[in-house]
Each structure stands twice: as C-alpha cells, then as structure tokens.
C-alpha cells in the first residue's frame, strides 16, 4: 500500500535542503525526500510530483518562490531539455563547493570514516568553465529540417537538437554541423533503433588540445552507403583541421557507441596531441581525458600524491594509453602499466616510444592477476596508481592490493559513491592521507578525486 504523502500530479511547496549526487535539489515534504532537478540549496520552490518510488519521490520544478543567491542564467538555450548538463543554473563557485560536499557525503554514507578527518580539500576548478570538452559523441536523428544531432533528454530516449554545445570546443561544433549537412546532402538517413531502418547512428569528433588536429568517426549501422570516401574528402575540404576520418560499423542492439569493425577512410590513422611535455597519438578508440586543461592539474595531483623520490617501482593499473604512468615516470625507477584492452596497451607502448621513455613496461591482462605475478618475480611495487571506471575497483583487485601491500596507493576516482565503498575495504589496511577533488566536467554533477592512501604501518606524514 502506498503511504506516500505525495501523489503523481500533485503540486506542492518545499524548501531545498541539499544537492544530490546527480545534481538535483533534495527537499523533504512531510519527511519524504523529494528529488527536484534545477533547484538550489535554500530555495523555496513549487513543484509537481512526477514519480513516487519506495521512500522517495521525484518532481518537476514549476517555479522558484525564493531564489538562492547562487542561481544564475544558464548559457545554453536547451538547458533543462538536454540531459548533458545538470548545473548550469548554479554559480561556478557553488558548483565547486557542492562537488566537495558530494565526496564528503559519500564518505559519510558508505564508510565508518569521519569526513573531517579525511582532509577533503577544496575542489580544483577552471578559470573558464565552458568550451572545455575535446571530444563529442552525438547521436544522429531527425527533426523538421532533416538529419540532426543532439543529446538525449534526461531519463529518456528523446533526442534534443543541439547545434552549438557550450561545453564542447567551438571547433568541434563547427565540424559536427558540417558533417550533419553532408549526411543530408548524401542522403544518409538516420538509423531508427525501433524499426532498424536507416544508417547513421553517431558522429564522434575529437580535437587535439595543443595541435588543433581533428579526427571524425562516423558510426553507421550497416555498410550500405557506398560514397564514404567522397563524403570524407568533402568534410576535409570544408574543415581543413580534420586530419583523420574513420567509419565504424555498429549493427548491435546496444548503448555502446562503437561496434567491432573500424575502417580508416581518409587522412592520417592517428591525430596527435600534447599534454605538458608529453606527446600522444590518438586512434578513435583510445581513451584520453575529455578536459585537457584540467587533466594537467589532475595528473600533477597524482604525481604529488605519489611523492616519488626517484627509486620507487610504480604500477599503473587501468593504464589505458599510458598517460598517468608516463606523467610520473621521470620520478620513478620503473613504471609498469596493465590494462585489459589490447589496443590501449599497444597505444601505451607507442606513446612511451614517442616520448623517449625507457623505464616503462606494459602488459595486457587483469591487474589482479598480473601484479601478484610481477611481485613474485621480484617487482614489488612501492606505489600503485588506480584509475578505475565509474563502477570502481572490483573485489579481486582490492584483495590483491591488500595482499601485495604497496606503501602508497593513489586512487583516481570518477564516482564518489564507488570510491567510498572501496575505501571502506581499503582502510582495513590503509589510511586516507587526504582527498583532493578536481572538477573535470564543469556544469555537470560529475566530480573526480585523487586520494592518497598510505599503509597503516607507515609513519603519519601528510602531503601538503
């Protein structure tokens, strides 16, 4: 029996008490938690209940009766429709504050640790928190004018037309709009998942932070289009910064962007980019941080947390194309990276060669299996760097860390909830020295954090 004080469609008045992990305001109506996107702490709002589930409810903002001083006018015309950003209505300084709070709340909720004793530091932000993304992957659809691209609205598969995304590089927006026009000109129809008709599924564009080189990958559902070479040449003519064009075939019923088949169509096989003193070659599948300006700050925080003196052995788990391990390699005796993706390891080796590094080694496989093997062979790491996906560290990897017992673990997190759950287990052998949040994605609810963990038998010496 539903004992909720709210019913779907009911309009009500509530005061927002805090911000949830996904950026929505949380108020309490007759002691029931209500999640309301687009609201800020301290605001008194009128909302309409849209869903009742278990001990909470969801609602849609109708109007703000009492505004927060942190409320600002969103820059984007489709903010609130497009699901890409959640915080454009919030001042940037308040965004940085609530992201630190998100980490603190997760620690409090999922662990027995006192957040005050974890030394959670102020979030490192950007000077200009717009036009920072170096990569876009945009679904293809239709509107009244023909083929279009956009982003899905929040919690739905409705595609919102976006021609000028405020968090992407302007040059990426320009390339995408030309690519859309060419799909229209060449009569390449958008793929409809329900009917399985049409061809174009996504346009993926990446631009080098320093080099300005652009790589475009068209994701099609089939091989029926026969003029891909001509389309690619036209795109490169209209957009001279486009140096590499690929076609990916994805005919699976999946939310994954890329399918298995990747074809090089025109230009170079890689684009190059530079971060700090490092050079990287990037293929379409290569993992590369989306905000290069903040990536430099993030990687410098990793290097600082590792506190290397020059004689340490370092393991870079989830190493991807090797960026983090190579960033710290000049202060280590040897860095070994491991990743389950064969292409990523091939790219890591190539990047190490490109940057003249002679103290790196890479292996394909699971870190929880390979690192103990290395330890048995005499390579016992002093520092392990982990940069897992949003799902966090698996149980086997955590047990491996507790078994191998490096002196220091540097945990790079992109999800406060899974970070906190992992810390609950890791702190059985380690203690949290400090946590440094970094804002990699302004205007969204996402926050990254660098955590320095030291073995409990090591003397307390806080990094500052």
Catalytic positions are 414
Measured from the Cβ of residue 424, the count of other Cβ atoms closer than 10 Å reads 15
Q: Enter the tokens of residue 260.
A: 């298995």
Q: Enter the tokens of residue 202.
A: 């996504």
81: CB partners within 8 A, 6+ apart: 153, 160
Measured from the Cβ of residue 431, the count of other Cβ atoms closer than 10 Å reads 16
Q: Which long-range contacts (CB under 8 A, 24 or more apart) does 48-52 make?
A: 48/9, 48/10, 48/11, 48/12, 49/6, 49/7, 49/8, 49/9, 49/10, 49/11, 49/12, 50/8, 51/8, 52/2, 52/4, 52/6, 52/7, 52/8
**Residue-by-residue DSSP string for 3-31:** --S--TT-EEEEEEEEE-TTS-EEEEETT
Q: Would you say 134 and 448 are in contact if contact means Cβ atoms under 8 Å apart?
A: no
Where do we find the tokens 């090797």?
Answer: 322
CA pair distance 433, 453, nearest whole angstrom: 6
CA pair distance 250, 292, nearest whole angstrom: 28
Q: How far apart are the first and last CA of the chain?
A: 54
CA pair distance 264, 266, nearest whole angstrom: 6
CA-CA distances (angstroms) from residue 430 to 382, 396, 451, 453, 460? 14, 17, 12, 6, 11
The DSSP code for 367 is H
CA-CA distances (angstroms) from residue 319 to 360, 391, 426? 12, 16, 20
């Amino acid at each position: 029996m539903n004992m909720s004080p709210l019913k779907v469609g009911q309009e009500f008045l509530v005061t927002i008490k805090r911000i949830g992990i996904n950026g929505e305001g949380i108020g309490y109506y007759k002691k029931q938690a209500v999640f309301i996107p687009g609201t800020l702490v301290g605001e008194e709002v009128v909302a309409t209940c849209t869903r009742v589930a278990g001990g909470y409810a969801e609602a849609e903002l109708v109007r703000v009766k009492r505004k927060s001083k942190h409320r600002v006018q969103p820059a984007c015309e489709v903010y609130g429709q497009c699901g890409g950003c959640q915080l454009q209505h919030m001042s940037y300084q308040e965004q940085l504050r609530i992201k630190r709070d998100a980490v603190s709340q997760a620690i409090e909720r999922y662990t027995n640790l006192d957040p005050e004793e974890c030394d959670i530091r102020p979030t490192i932000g950007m000077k200009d928190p717009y036009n920072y993304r170096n990569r876009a992957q945009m679904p293809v659809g239709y509107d009244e004018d023909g083929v279009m691209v956009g982003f899905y609205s929040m919690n739905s598969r409705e595609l919102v037309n976006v021609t000028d995304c405020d968090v992407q590089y302007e040059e990426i927006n320009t390339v995408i709009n030309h690519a859309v026009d060419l799909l229209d000109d060449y009569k390449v129809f958008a793929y409809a998942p329900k009917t399985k008709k049409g061809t174009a599924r996504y346009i993926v564009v990446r631009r080098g932070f320093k080099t300005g080189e652009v790589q475009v990958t068209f994701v099609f559902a089939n091989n029926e289009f026969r003029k891909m070479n001509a389309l690619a040449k036209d795109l490169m003519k209209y957009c001279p910064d486009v140096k590499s064009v690929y076609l990916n075939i994805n005919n699976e019923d999946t939310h994954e962007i890329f399918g298995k088949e990747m074809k090089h169509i025109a230009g170079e096989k890689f684009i190059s980019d530079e971060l700090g003193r490092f050079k990287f070659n990037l293929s379409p599948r290569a993992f590369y941080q989306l905000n290069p300006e903040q990536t430099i700050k993030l990687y410098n925080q990793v290097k600082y947390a590792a506190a290397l003196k020059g004689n340490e052995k370092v393991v870079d788990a989830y190493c991807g194309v090797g960026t983090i391990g190579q960033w710290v390699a000049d202060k280590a005796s040897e860095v070994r990276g491991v990743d389950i993706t064969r292409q990523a390891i091939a790219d890591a080796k190539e990047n190490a060669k490109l940057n003249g590094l002679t103290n790196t080694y890479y292996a394909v496989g699971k870190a929880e299996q390979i690192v103990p093997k290395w330890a048995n062979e005499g390579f016992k790491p002093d520092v392990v760097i982990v940069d897992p996906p949003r799902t966090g560290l698996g149980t086997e990897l955590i047990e491996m860390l507790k078994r191998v017992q490096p002196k220091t673990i540097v945990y790079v997190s992109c999800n406060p909830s899974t970070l906190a759950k992992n810390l609950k287990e890791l702190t059985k052998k380690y203690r949290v020295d400090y946590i440094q949040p970094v804002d990699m994605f302004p205007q969204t609810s996402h926050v990254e954090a660098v955590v320095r963990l030291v073995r409990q038998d090591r003397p307390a010496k806080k990094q500052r």
